[in-house]
Amino acid sequence: MSVTTYTVKGMTCGHCVSSVKEEVGEVAGVSSVEVDLAGGVLTVNSDEPIDAARIAAAVEEAGYELAARA
């Protein structure tokens, strides 16, 4: 099991959180996604490490920006 955290910029509401969770959750290999709106923290659980570029692309698809690993 791999757990990776990232910082997401631009989220301001619950809809933002839902959008990010939905898009990242569709990335192959992701088993669960948690998003903390207050801290802008995205936590991705997966069976094996996932390339950060794939996570960044999913976050961008949701309309936000991946700032860095938290």
**Residue 36: predicted pLDDT:** 97
SS3 37: coil
How far is 66 from 13, CA to CA, in rounded Å? 16
pLDDT tens digits, 14-52: 999 999 999 999 999 999 999 999 999 999 999 999 999
Amino acid of residue 21? K
Report how many domains make up the chain. 1
Could you tell me the pTM of the whole model? 0.92
DSSP code for 10: S
CATH code, domain with 39? 3.30.70.100
User: By residue range, what is the domain housing residue 47?
Assistant: 2-69
